[in-house]
Each structure stands twice: as C-alpha cells, then as structure tokens.
Amino acid sequence: MSNIKDLARSTGLSTATVSRYLNGHPYVSKEAQYAIELAIRELGYSPNAAARSLRSGKTGRIAIVVLDASHPFYSALVAGAAGAAVEYGYDLLVQQTCTKHWSPDRVLQPVVTRAIDALIVATELEPWGEYAAELERFRVVTCDQALSQAGLHGLYIDHYQSTLDGLEHLYERGARVIACLHDPDHDRCSSSRIRVSAYEQFASRYSEMRIVQLEAEDDTVETGASLLQRIGSEFPEVDGVFSGSDDLAAGLLLAAREAGLDVPGRLRILGFDDQPLARVLGLSTIRQPVRKMGARAVHEVHRLIQRNASCGRGRPNGRRHAPDKIRVPYRLMIRSTT
C-alpha cells in the first residue's frame, strides 16, 4: 500500500500539501489538486486509519455491549445502532457478554486503549458498582434503566411505570393472580430488578391481588411453552401472565391454545416488546421502539463526542455536563389475549 509520502514523491509536492488536499483545506492550487488526484488514482492510495487516529486522537469507532446479539431485543438494538452509525460515519463494534471467554475488562479494553471513541452499554458488567464508576471516565451511554442510575448518560424505557401499567391492565381485565415471568438472566439484566419493585408496589396497592414470580431459564418460545405446564401444576390459581418478553408469552399462548385453554377468559397474557410474532398471534403486549433506541443511542454518543472534542482532549477540564436521562416512550398494545 502506498502512503502519503509516495504521493508527495510522485507529485513533487510535500506531504503537507498532500495532507491539506486530502483534508479539504483551502490554499491548495488547482495544479496541485489535479496532480494529487492523479497520483491517488495511479498509486491506489488510501489513508491509514491507525496513523490518522494516532495523530488526531479520534478513531471514528464506537462499540455497543449487549448480552446476546442473537436475542430479538438486543439484535434490534444493534440493528438500530448499526444503521445510525453509518449515518454518523462511525464503525460499530459489537460486544457480547453471554460468551464463554467474556470479562468486563475485556469489554472495556477498546475504550481504555482508545480503540474506540465511545461506548454504548446495554447490559450489566459485574460487579456493576465498580465498573459503573470506571465508566464515568469515558464517553458512555447506557441503554438500560438500572444501569443509568449511576453518573452515566441513560436512554431507556421506564420499566417501573410500564410494568405497573401492564399489571394494571391485567387487573382491569379481571386477573387476580398474576404470574410474572422473569428474564432469563434475571441477575444480569438489572432492569428486571426494577420490575420486581414494581410488582411489589402493585401488590401493595391492591390487597386482593397476588403476584407469583417465575424464573424462565431462557428467553425463547420453547421455554415459554414449557411454562404452561409448570404454572398449571404449581400455581393452578393463576389467571393472568405478565411476561418480560414476547417470546415467552408467545410460547405460553401457543401452548395454552394447544391445550384448549380459554385465553383470555381463563388466562390473560401480556407480552413485552411487540415483535412481529406478537402481531400474528394477536398477543397483547407493550411496544417499545427498540431499533429507534439503538439509533438514538448512537445519536447521543455522537453528541458526547462532539462535545468534548471542542472542550479539548483528555479529561474534561471544565465542569462535566450533567448526565442526560432520556425516557423512550412505550405503548400498551391491546389485542386478543387480555
């Protein structure tokens, strides 16, 4: 590969002039422009990203940390982020925490070694207390309500309120014993902790209500289907289900229909996400605009980068901007299962 020196040699100009041309500076003569353009074509030049970012301190790269890139929620988040990344001119790194050789330090490595300009964190790094503090040194946007509690920028839907709304809806539809299905990585995906506190708030509001918490081993339709039997045998009095994901709810619904169970007469089912499958099955659910959230996260990260690009390099000398907390709207989609 040829470099800027080759261009300089080939055109008889200096590297400074060539660099100026490449960066669109004024004060490059027409002849020089023409000569350089020609040389670029001839030598097949393209700039070296490493050298550029070494000099400029910018990489044009950001990363997003998710639990599992193949999970419908996270994959939609990644897709949204990837789309926006192109728009803003960034390359997007994807990091997964459900992997064997994963570790928080490994995830932070790119940001620490300045291989990326900023980080989007959508899943917990444990112990979060420790790493959240660490993250404050960098440009970080979190995509989870629980994660954003620290001094970090946050972008999330309000799980507390949305859970309350969902439970309230089930109550209105006549449910009195509600099974709440936990996310599979209950301990890792900290937003489920927020949901739990919403369950408690709700239970204390209506004394006649009972909440049963059930943990699903993973987040698939298959597991959802298997839960019907478990509910039937362990908690036969359950007449409403609030699921943390559409997949679990859909599986449960399919199993219920298979078993000839009256939905929503005998059992009301409410999902979360509004995936295509929910629409097909007529599953009531809470819609969250996940793709948009991913895109918005990139937008926010971009603003951060712009911000303290102008504040000078390295540490924020001036006062650090207060962390933004952005609530993304959600919407209850009432269909035929509630």
Partner DNA sequence: ACTTGCTCTGTAATTGATTTCATAGAGTAC
Partner DNA sequence: GTACTCTATGAAATCAATTACAGAGCAAGT
d(CA 121, CA 178): 32
296 binds its own copies (CB under 8 A): no
Residue type, 110: P
14 binds DNA (CB under 7 A): yes
Q: Measured from the CB atom, is 25 or 205 closer to DNA?
A: 25
What are the tokens at 320? 């650090």
59 binds DNA (CB under 7 A): no
23 binds DNA (CB under 7 A): yes
Shortest spacing between CB 26 and DNA, in angstroms: 6
CB of 286 closer than 8 Å to CB of 333: yes
CB of 231 closer than 8 Å to CB of 224: no
Shortest spacing between CB 172 and its own copies, in angstroms: 27
Q: Which of these ranges, 31-39, 55-63, 147-155, 227-235, lies near its own copies under the rule CB under 8 A?
A: 55-63
92 binds its own copies (CB under 8 A): yes
d(CA 328, CA 294): 11
Stretch 183-222: interaction string toward its own copies, x if CB under 8 A: -------------------------------------xxx
Q: φ and ψ at 243, to 5 degrees? A: -105, 145
Q: φ and ψ at 66, to 5 degrees? A: -125, 165
Q: Measured from the CB atom, is 48 or 201 closer to DNA?
A: 48
Q: Which of these ranges, 24-32, 75-83, 186-194, 235-243, lies near its own copies under the rule CB under 8 A?
A: 75-83
Span 238-267, contacts to its own copies by CB under 8 A? 247, 250-251, 254-255
Pick one of 9, 15, 186, 213: the residue that binds DNA (CB under 7 A). Answer: 15
d(CA 111, CA 135): 9
Pick one of 37, 38, 51, 307: the residue that binds DNA (CB under 7 A). Answer: 51
Pick one of 102, 160, 188, 203: the residue that binds its own copies (CB under 8 A). Answer: 102
Q: Beta strands 284-287 and 331-333: pairing type?
A: antiparallel
Q: Measured from the CB atom, is 3 or 223 closer to DNA?
A: 3
d(CA 285, CA 268): 11
d(CA 206, CA 143): 31
Pick one of 39, 121, 225, 286: the residue that binds its own copies (CB under 8 A). Answer: 225
* Inter-CA distances, 206 with 171, 238, 246, 266, Å: 9, 16, 26, 21
d(CA 242, CA 180): 5
Q: Which of these ranges, 20-28, 99-107, 198-206, 268-276, lies near DNA under the rule CB under 7 A?
A: 20-28
The one of DNA, its own copies, none whose footprint includes residue 281, by CB under 5 to 8 A per kind, is its own copies
Bridge partners, 179 (sequence order): 212, 241
Span 301-330, contacts to its own copies by CB under 8 A? 314
17 binds DNA (CB under 7 A): yes
Shortest spacing between CB 46 and DNA, in angstroms: 7
Residue 259: partners with Cβ closer than 8 Å, 6 or more residues away = 228
